[in-house]
Amino acid sequence: MTTNDFLQIGALIAALIVLTPLLGRFCYSILTGRGAKVLRPFRILERLTYKICGIDADVEMGWKQYASALLLFNLGGFVVVYLLQMLQQFLPLNPQNLSAPSWHLAFNSAVSFVTNTNWQAYAGETTLSYLTQMVGLTVQNFVSAATGIAAMAALARGISRKTSGTLGNFWTDMTRSTIHILLPLAVIWTLILVGQGVVQNLEGYQSATTIEGKEQVLPMGLAASQIAIKQLGTNGGGYFNSNSTHPYENPTPISNWFEALAILMLPAALVYTFGLMVGSRKHAWVLYGVMMLMLIVLIGISAYAEFSNNSALGVAHLEGKETRFGIVNSIIWSNFTTVASNGSVNAMHSSLSPIAGGIAMFNIMLGEIIFGGVGAGMYGMILFVLLAVFLAGLMVGRTPEYFGKKIEALEMRWTTIPIILPSALILIGAAIACSTSAGLSSLANRGPHGLSEILYAFTSASGNNGSAFAGLNANTPFYNITLGLCMLLARFGVILPVLIVAGSLANKKSTPMTAGSFSTEGMTFGLILIATILIVGALTFFPVLALGPIIEHLLMLAGTTF
Partner 1 sequence: MLLDSVLLRQATIDAFRKLNPKEQIKNPVMFVVLVGTILTAVSFSTNVIRGNFSAFELQICLWLFFTLMFANFAEALAEGRGKAQAESLKRMRTATIARRLSGDDHEESVNAGLLKTGDRVICESGDIIPGDGEVVEGIASVDESAITGESAPVIRESGGDRSAVTGGTRVISDRIVVRITAEQGRSFLDRMIGLVEGARRQKTPNEIALSLVLSGLTIIFVLAVTTLKLFADYSAREAGQDMSSVVTLPILISLLVCLIPTTIGGLLSAIGISGMDRMIRKNVIATSGRAVEAAGDVDVLLLDKTGTITFGNRMATEFIPVPGVPVQTLAETAQLASLSDETPEGRSIVVLAKERFGLRAETLPPHLARFVPFSAQTRMSGVDVLESAEPVRTLRKGSGDAIRKHIEENGGTWPSEIDPIMDRVSKSGGTPLVVAEEHFVLGVVHLKDVVKGGIKERFAQLRSMGIRTIMVTGDNPLTAASIAAEAGVDDFMAQASPEAKLNRIRQEQANGHLVAMTGDGTNDAPALAQADVGVAMNTGTQAAREAGNMVDLDSNPTKLIEVVETGKQLLMTRGALTTFSVANDVAKYFAIVPAMFSALYATAVSTGPLAQLNIMRLESPQSAILSAVIFNALIIVALIPLALKGIKYRPMGAEAVLRRNLFVYGFGGLVTPFVGIKLIDILVTRLGLIS
By CB under 8 A, the residues from 516 to 535 that bind partner 1 are: 516-519, 522, 524, 527-528, 531, 535
Neighbours of 223 (CB within 10 A): 26
Q: Which one of 430, 498, 505, 530 is in contact with partner 1 (CB under 8 A)?
A: 430
Q: Rule CB under 8 A: is residue 453 a binding residue for partner 1?
A: no
Q: Which one of 106, 427, 472, 500 is in contact with partner 1 (CB under 8 A)?
A: 427
> Do residues 108 and 484 touch, judged by C-beta distance below 8 A?
yes
Q: Rule CB under 8 A: is residue 412 a binding residue for partner 1?
A: yes
Compute the least distance from the CB of residue 472 to partner 1, in Å: 14
Cα 95 to Cα 92, 124, 201, 202, 542: the distances in Å are 8, 14, 12, 9, 49
Q: Rule CB under 8 A: is residue 489 a binding residue for partner 1?
A: no
**Distance separating alpha carbons of residues 225 and 95, to the nearest angstrom:** 19
* Region of 103-111, 115-123, 192-200, 442-450 interacting with partner 1 (CB under 8 A): 442-450
In 434-557, where does DSSP find H-type helix?
437-440, 447-462, 477-507, 523-532, 542-545, 551-557
Using DSSP's 3-state secondary structure scheme, residue 312 falls into: coil
Q: Rule CB under 8 A: is residue 408 a binding residue for partner 1?
A: yes
**Distance separating alpha carbons of residues 368 and 381, to the nearest angstrom:** 8
Q: Rule CB under 8 A: is residue 544 a binding residue for partner 1?
A: yes
35/559 with CB nearer partner 1: 559
Compute the least distance from the CB of residue 334 to partner 1, in Å: 23
Q: Rule CB under 8 A: is residue 1 a binding residue for partner 1?
A: no
**What's the one-letter identity of residue 19?**
L
Q: Rule CB under 8 A: is residue 560 a binding residue for partner 1?
A: yes
Residue 470 is classified by DSSP as S
94/511 with CB nearer partner 1: 511
Residue 178 is classified by DSSP as I
68/540 with CB nearer partner 1: 540
* Region of 49-57, 83-91, 305-313, 411-419 interacting with partner 1 (CB under 8 A): 411-419
Q: Rule CB under 8 A: is residue 447 a binding residue for partner 1?
A: yes
Q: Rule CB under 8 A: is residue 297 a binding residue for partner 1?
A: no
**Distance separating alpha carbons of residues 464 and 470, to the nearest angstrom:** 17
372/450 with CB nearer partner 1: 450
Binders of partner 1 in range 124-183 (CB under 8 A): 162
264/530 with CB nearer partner 1: 530
- Give, in degrees to the nearest 5, the angle at Cα 561 between 557 and 562: 145
Neighbours of 314 (CB within 10 A): 8
Q: Rule CB under 8 A: is residue 100 a binding residue for partner 1?
A: no
**Distance separating alpha carbons of residues 339 and 361, to the nearest angstrom:** 9
242/350 with CB nearer partner 1: 350
**Distance separating alpha carbons of residues 240 and 244, to the nearest angstrom:** 8
* Region of 65-73, 82-90, 218-226, 401-409 interacting with partner 1 (CB under 8 A): 401-409
Q: What is the CA radius of gyration of the chain?
A: 23
